Amino acid sequence: MNTPPELLSEHACFGGVQRFYQHASSTIGLTMKYSVFLPPQMFIDDAGGKVPAVIYLAGLTCNEETFMVKAGAQRMAAELGLALIAPDTSPRGAHVPGEADNWDFGVGAGFYLDASQAPWDRHYRMESYLTAELLPLLTAALPLDAGRIGIFGHSMGGHGALTLALRHPNLFKSVSAFAPICAPSHCPWGRKAFTGYLGADEAGWLAHDAAALMAGLRSAPYPGGILIDQGLADKFLAEQLHPDLFEAACAKAGQPLTLRRHAGYDHGYYFIATFMADHLKHHARQLSARTGDLKSA
Q: Determine the pLDDT at residue 289.
A: 59
How far is the C-alpha of 28 from the C-alpha of 107, rounded, in Å? 13
Which listed residue (23, 186, 242, 267) is catalytic?
267
Query: What is the CA 213 to chain-centroid distance, rounded?
Result: 16
Q: Catalytic annotation on 155? A: yes
C-alpha angle with apex 284: 220 to 88, nearest 5 degrees?
Answer: 85
| 34 strand-pairing partners | 21, 87
Q: State pTM to two decimals.
A: 0.95
Which listed residue (25, 35, 90, 155) is catalytic?
155
Q: Which of 261, 21, 250, 55 is nearest to 154 (CA)?
A: 55
Q: Determine the pLDDT at residue 44.
A: 76
| 142 strand-pairing partners | none
Which listed residue (88, 114, 209, 234) is catalytic?
234
pLDDT > 70: what percent of the chain?
95
| Helix H or strand E segment including 157 | helix 156-167
What are residue 106's phi and psi, to 5 degrees?
A: 95, -130
Q: Which of 284, 229, 241 is nearest to 51 (CA)?
A: 284
Contacts of 137 (CB under 8 A, 6+ apart): 5, 23
Q: pLDDT below 70 — which residues of the chain?
A: 1-2, 45-48, 289-297
Q: Determine the pLDDT at residue 290.
A: 42
How far is the C-alpha of 284 from the C-alpha of 152, rounded, in Å? 12
Q: Determine the pLDDT at residue 42.
A: 86
Q: Long-range pairs for 213-219 at CB < 8 Å and ≥24 separation?
A: 213/162, 213/163, 213/166, 213/167, 214/166, 214/246, 214/249, 214/250, 214/252, 214/253, 214/255, 215/248, 215/249, 215/252, 215/253, 217/166, 217/253, 217/255, 218/253, 219/253, 219/254
| Helix H or strand E segment including 197 | helix 188-198
Q: Which of 74, 66, 67 is nearest to 40 (CA)?
A: 74
Q: Which of 72, 81, 79 is nearest to 53 (CA)?
A: 81
| 38 strand-pairing partners | 17
How far is the C-alpha of 234 from the C-alpha of 175, rounded, in Å? 22
Q: Determine the pLDDT at residue 46.
A: 57
